[in-house]
Amino acid sequence: MEAMYAFFMDKAGMGQAGAHVTVAAIMATLMFIVMALCALVFTWMERKVAAFLQSRWGPMRTGRWQGWAQAVADMLKILGKEDIIPAEADKALFIFAPLLVLLGSLLAWAAIPWAPGFVAADLDLGLFYIFAVSSMVIIGILMAGWASNNKWALYGAARGAAQMVSYEIPLALAAIPVVMYTGSLNTQDIVIAQQGGIWNWFIFRNPFLFVSFFLYFVASIAETNRGPFDMPETESELVAGYHTEYTGMRFAFFFLSEYANLFLVSMIAVLLFLGGWWAPIPGLDFLPAALTFVIKGVLMVFLNMWVRWTLPRVRVDQLMHLCWKVMIPAALICTVGAGLWMMASGAAG
Amino acid sequence: MSQKLVERLQREFGADILATATNHGDESVTVAPERLRDVLAHLRGKEGCEQLSDVVGVDFPGRDRRFQVVYLLRSWAKNHRLQVKVDVAEDEAVPTVSDLYRSADWAEREVWDLFGVPFSGHPDLRRILCHHEFEGHALRKDYPIEQGQECSRPEKLFTDADVARAAQRATAVVSDPGGVVDEVHPSDLLTVNIGPSHPATHGALRAELLLDGETILEARTEIGYIHRCFEKEAEDHTWAQVMPYTDRLNYCSAMLNNSIYAMAVEKLLGVEATPRAQAIRVIVSELSRIIDHLVCVCANLVDIGALTNYWYLYNVRESIYESLEKLCGSRLTTNYARIGGMSHDLYDGFAAEIGHKLDQLLEGHSDVMKLVARNRIFLDRTVGVGVIGRADALNWGYTGPCLRATGLAYDLRRHAPYSGYEQYEFDVPTGEQGDTHDRIMVRMAEIIQSRSIVLQALDKLPDGPLNIDDHRVVLPPKRTVYDTIEGVMNQFKLVYEGIRVPRGEAYGFGEGANGELGYWCISDGSGRPYRMKVRPPCFPVFSSYAQLVQGGMIPDAIATLGSLNIIAGELDR
């Protein structure tokens, strides 16, 4: 990043402001491209992982090798689909909702530290910022469900809002012990604090952090609306939930955002608990930092998919029960416990 | 046994028992309409007839009292059956028995719908299979079979008044007795349609739910979306031509429908299939039962979000289907049984192939059991969901796995063995509390039992002729048709006139995949059925659905629906 600033200021002769704008524009474009690519790769991966778990092949023909081009073909197909807005829908909201959902995921990507110094928005409140902007997805989903003027969509949206608002709490609570250890909300600082091999990763620092990791993981599945917590969609109950009425590219935006969010929460898990860009053992140091980070993220995504294709769906009231009566108390205990542990071990600053 | 029952009835009711008859081993009594309720109440209260299997209407236009309504009663505990008949003139009402037997609710509606026999005192006498705009009564002999009607307006199941009433009731429930009235306004409630086109209905049927949030205040169901009046069709075809129509009843286990239909007509003919044909029927029936249960369990698991299990079981189903296709040329519409035998014998290597596939079945079965049996989410979703008690289940007319899930080991293969079922060793798995979980697990256990029956039957498959040696029933071999004049004539008569089933009536039944599948057949001696009534197992089961889901949530309604295994093909006929 510094190199980029230096390049634009010195070599290209821009002022400081000009360099900032240019770098921001480059990073934003880059993030968007990476995000779109992620969605493509992960849809393909999801289909292959699901197929693997379900003793079938998944896509095998498009693009010859393991049907790698299937996702591309799907995207092209979806671009060619008729864009339908129901006559009774609230047109403005209906159009705006998918954009808002996508925006929420995209904004959060800005604070992801891919490698030392390489982060689009190096914010001191990074983690806070990520949790804050990713909440915009909820508004988008509510908007989509309401604007569709469809009962299934409304039910999906109401469930989605209830679920995501609730699960934000354990999600954030699970991150608090990490922040306590680091003493910073800056995502780079959090990763740097985990330097020095796998035992310095926050997940293995103490038992409370270990539990926090699993709390975070479960809450993150709920945040991304994926099985077993896919309440807003529940295709067997609510037809297709909040996006029942969406077609073509607008539907693709929801789809894109689901996978962008999936990778986002996985990367946050990596940066909070799994050592960010640090290699687990010294021998793997030769890998570029960003690659290490992405590999860990993809493994988390795989874990997420594994869970999705293994477990049945919980019922909507059981989902709430799990959140408010199990996970939030557990997360609070972990926060207090981690604090006490820090005091006892003298790690507190 | 039933003979004694008739004698006791005669002692009790004297001259009110207008007539008694025995048809092919089935006892029947005729009573006057005004005594019907007393007789049925007596049978239910004193004689232990806990179940009304079906109500059948018959139209005899020549008679003074044109319509006959037949009540098929069954006592599982005492293992006897009795038919109670009532003759009524046109427009003469029959007193309803829907307060004695809940299964009579829909059954009487069906008779009203198709014959126009009114039932006085029935709480909700509407059409059920035909569209509400339909005019006339389709199964009356004077309704022309080719006369179609265009009906398009959908029926609203909840009126505004219904919603207002429900809101009032809900207000009473949520308001706390201390005085705070938390009023539920009608506009707080929402009606949604589950079906006729919904991912979880697995067939065209409709349940309208009146919802307060996610909670179901009230449910109402509507069926008949794929009603094609199979029974009218049957009257227009020869006995043998009806066989392919039976495929379309429960299309998940067509072989069972075939076999039981053939058995019913054989009962009326007074013949019995050869031991080899019987054994083959058992084999294909049990294979059908396996695939039917697989479909039900898979679909149920998919409905509660456990998608992966689907492939573990469906792959096996697919491979069994391959064998069935090899056996009879098609997968769904098998048309394999024949009256008096089977259409052809098993192919070479069938036993080995099926044996191998049944081993795969065990693998898939155990994979799924490992995934769900102790899974917390699965248990949370299914235990205590859609509960029905034993007495209620009998009262609603439940049979088959749904009844056994309540803990009653009632199985027609045990209670009234047919096709040589008494030779095979098998358990009758039961559940405990009649919830969704038990229904799934009973089916899973029955798959294993059916597998064992298939293996036993394959093991001791008797040699000998496949078809009975009766040229009035079974088509002659092609060689005879080509070479002899008798052969040509037999073939000609059977194809053009159909099997001359002697005048009479019989109720042939067996254990279908969903429960008691029965065919009530009346022959007037021509080559065609005079009346053919199917007793589909899921019809009475679905009639209780609205009650089962009331008070639950949308996801419960979906899980319950899947576990009942409602097959629209036999539900609507």
On chain A, the residues whose CB falls within 8 A of the CB of B200 are 236-237
Q: Across all residues in chain B, what is the average pLDDT?
A: 86
**Farthest CA pair distance, chain A:** 64
Q: Residue B53 has which token pair?
A: 């299997």
Position A255: which residue type?
A: F
Burial of B142 (0-12, 13-18, 19+ CB in 10 A): exposed
The secondary structure of B23-89, three-state, reads: ECCEEEEEECHHHHHHHHHHHHHCCCCCEEEEEEEEECCCCCCCEEEEEEEEECCCCEEEEEEEEEC
Test mutation, A313, A320, A321, chain B, max B CBs within 10 A: A313
CA–CA separation, A146 and A161 (whole Å): 12
Confirm or reject contact between A54 and chain B (CB < 8 A). yes
**Predicted pLDDT at B175:** 59
Give the pLDDT band (50/70/90) at residue B493: confident
Residue among B267, B270, B248, B268 nearest B258 (CA): B248
Confidence of residue A329 (pLDDT cuts 50, 70, 90): very high
Residues in chain B within 8 Å Cβ distance of A151: 190, 192
Sign of CA dihedral B497, B501, B504, B508: negative
**Chain B CA closest to residue A152:** B192
* Radius of gyration over every alpha carbon of chain A, rounded to an integer in angstroms: 21
User: Contact, B20 vs B6, CB < 8 A?
Assistant: yes
User: Of A238, A310, A312, which is closest to B381 when you measure between CB atoms?
Assistant: A312
Q: Is residue B125 helix, strand or coil?
A: coil
> How many Cα neighbours within 13 Å face the side chain of A156?
29
Burial of B536 (0-12, 13-18, 19+ CB in 10 A): buried
Chain B, 387 to 426: residues with Cβ < 8 Å from chain A are none
CA-to-CA distance for A297 and B528, rounded, in angstroms? 70
For residue A57, pLDDT over 60 is answered with yes
Per-residue pLDDT reduced to its tens digit, A239-277: 778 888 888 888 888 888 888 888 888 988 988 888 878
Contacts with A312 from chain B: Cβ below 8 Å? 301, 304-306, 372, 375, 377-378, 381
Say how far apart CA B396 and CA B453 lie, in whole Å.
30
Position of tokens 């800005």? Answer: A110
Q: Which residues of A172-210 are buried (b: 16+ CB within 10 A; e: fewer)?
A: bbbbbbbbbbbebbbbbbbbbbbeeeeeebbbbbbebbe
| Cα–Cα dist B425/B435, whole Å | 27
How is residue B435 annotated by DSSP? Answer: S
- A130-160 pLDDT, tens digit each: 888 888 888 888 888 888 888 888 888 888 8
Q: Based on the number of CB atoms within 10 Å of its own CB, is B179 exposed (0-12), middle (13-18) or buried (19 or more)?
A: exposed
Residue A251 to chain B, least CA–CA distance (Å): 19
Question: For B150-164, B173-187, B454-468, which range has the lowest pLDDT when averaged over its residues?
Answer: B173-187
Which of B542, B547, B541 is CA-nearest to residue B219? B547
Distance CA B357, CA B366 (A): 14
Q: Is the pLDDT of residue B435 over 50?
A: yes
Q: What ipTM, to 2 d.p.?
A: 0.83
CB nearest A316 (choices: B304, B375, B553): B553
Q: Which helix (H) or strand (E) covers residue A287, if one does?
A: none
Cα A225 from Cα A314, distance rounded (Å):
12
Search chain B and give the residue with CA nearest A227.
B305
> Over 80: is that where the pLDDT of B121 sits?
yes
Whether the pLDDT of residue B442 is over 90: the answer is: yes
Q: What is the pTM of this model?
A: 0.86
- Range in A98-102, A304-308, A341-345, B400-404 with the lowest mean pLDDT: A341-345
Residue A349's pLDDT is 47
Residue range B238-462+473-527 forms a domain whose CATH class is mainly alpha
CA dist list (Å): B62 to A24, B67, B141: 92, 10, 10
Q: How far is CA B418 from CA A58, B264, B430, B503, B520, in A?
A: 45, 11, 21, 23, 17
pLDDT recorded at residue B177: 63
Nearest to B434 by CA among B518, B353, B541: B541
pLDDT for res A13: 67
Residue range B261-316, pLDDT digits in tens: 999 999 888 888 889 999 999 999 999 999 999 999 988 988 888 888 888 888 88
A172 CB contacts (<8 Å, ≥6 apart)?
A131
Domain borders along chain B are 2-120, 160-222, 238-462+473-527
User: Which token pair is B247?
Assistant: 């495929």
When pLDDT is cut at 50, 70 and 90, the band that residue B447 belongs to is very high
Q: Are B397 and B541 in contact (CB under 8 A)?
A: yes
The CA–CA distances, whole Å, from B266 to B261, B269, B333 equal: 9, 5, 21
Are the beta carbons of B305 and A53 separated by less than 8 Å? no
Q: Residue B550 and residue B218: Cα distance in Å, rounded? A: 5
- What is the crossing angle of helices B2-13 and B33-45, to 10°? 120
Return the axis-axis angle of helices A248-273 and A151-182, rounded to nearest 10°: 20
Report helix, strand or coil for B479: helix
The residue-averaged pLDDT of B405-419 equals 87
* B18 and A CB contact within 8 Å: no
Name which of B305, B311, B372 is nearest A236 (Cβ-Cβ): B305
Domain ranges of chain A: 1-80, 86-345
**Distance, CA of B257 to CA of B245 (rounded, Å):** 9
Distance CA(B18)–CA(A344), nearest Å, equals: 94
Q: Taking residues B245-261, report their average pLDDT.
A: 88
DSSP secondary structure string for all residues of A86-115: -TTS-HHHHHHHHHHHHHHHHHHHTT---B
**Chain A interface includes B207 (CB < 8 A):** no
pLDDT tens digits, one per residue of B367-383: 889 888 888 888 988 98
Taking chain B, what is the end-to-end CA distance rounded to the nearest angstrom?
A: 33
Look up residue A167 and give its amino acid. Y
Residue A312, both tokens: 């049945």
Q: Which CATH architecture has domain B2-120?
A: 2-Layer Sandwich (3.30)
Q: What local confidence, expressed as pLDDT, does residue A209 receive?
A: 85
Give Cα separations from B299 to A340, B294, B362, B543 (angstroms).
50, 8, 19, 20
pLDDT of residue B1: 56
Structural element, H or E, at residue B454: helix B436-459
Lowest-confidence pick of A14-23, B237-246, B333-342, B476-485: A14-23
Q: Is B15 a residue whose pLDDT tops 90?
A: no
